[in-house]
Structure formats: structure tokens, C-alpha cells
Amino acid sequence: MHEMAIAESVLEIVEATARGNAAARVSAVWLELGALSHVEARALLFCFDAVTRGSLAEGATLEILVLPGEAWCMPCGDRVALAKLGDPCPRCGSFQLQVMSGEEMRVKEIAIA
Ligand SMILES: [Zn+2]
């Protein structure tokens, strides 16, 4: 499962950050997720719960902040908003789009105890 690998890498970042701050426990994690990344938020939440069991982030809440996607539309010659991959340009309906942002994933903040 794709989301399981992502949850594991999130946990690695969280654990490294927590240790760097001499934290005994992590109570919450804020994750920025691009709307165009191939990650399903619900599946990720489930996997995060599973991989954090027994770690210092056990029981921590995962808050997912979805960042909007943006693409370059060739016919429009401009940046347009893109809700999800495979969608046409909201202005002209073209599929000649090049994704500019919205595929990223980043641990934004963690709450430690
Ligand atoms: Zn367009």
C-alpha cells in the first residue's frame, strides 16, 4: 500500500524532529499535502495510526492541510487552479496542462510533550 510507505516516511521525520528536541512524546502532526499528490488522506490517516503504534508518536493526531494545485495551461498561456489530476483547464477546457504545484508533501509542524 502506497500510503503505508508515506506514513512511514512521515513518522521518520517526526521521530527525528522529536529526538532533536529531546521530546518524549508527539501529540500532533500537521502535514501539508498537495491536492494533486496521489495520496488519499483517509488512507494516510489509517496508516499513520498503524505505523505510530509503539513509537513516540503513538496516539498523535495527524492533521492534513490540503494545498491547492496549480497548472500551466498552454492555450491560456497562464497559471490556472487545478482541483485534481486529469481535470481540464477550468477556463478553456484544454487538457494541455503542465502541473506547477500541488504534488508536494511536507511535515509542517509537530506538537511535542
Ligand atoms: Zn486554459
**Percent of the chain, pLDDT > 70?**
99
Cβ neighbors of 40 (< 8 A, separation 6 or more) are: 3
How remote is the CA of residue 88 from the centroid of ligand 1, in Å?
Answer: 8
Instruction: Give distance in angstroms: CA of 38 to centre of ligand 1.
Output: 23
Q: How many CB atoms lie within 10 A of CB 98?
A: 9
With a cut of 80, say whether residue 1 has pLDDT above it. Answer: no
In the DSSP assignment, the letter for residue 76 is T
pLDDT the model gives residue 64: 96
Residue 108 scores a pLDDT above 90: yes
Question: What is the 78 CA–ligand 1 centroid distance (Å)?
Answer: 7
Interatomic CA distance for residues 28 and 112, integer angstroms: 7
The model's pLDDT over 10-63, given as tens digits with 9 standing for 90+, comes to 999 999 999 999 999 999 999 999 999 889 999 999 999 999 999 999 999 999
pLDDT the model gives residue 110: 96
For the beta carbon of residue 66, count every other beta carbon within 10 angstroms. 14
Q: Report how far ligand 1's centroid is from the alpha carbon of 61 (Å).
A: 39
Ligand 1 geometric centre to CA of 26 (Å): 44
Looking at residue 113, its pLDDT comes to 83
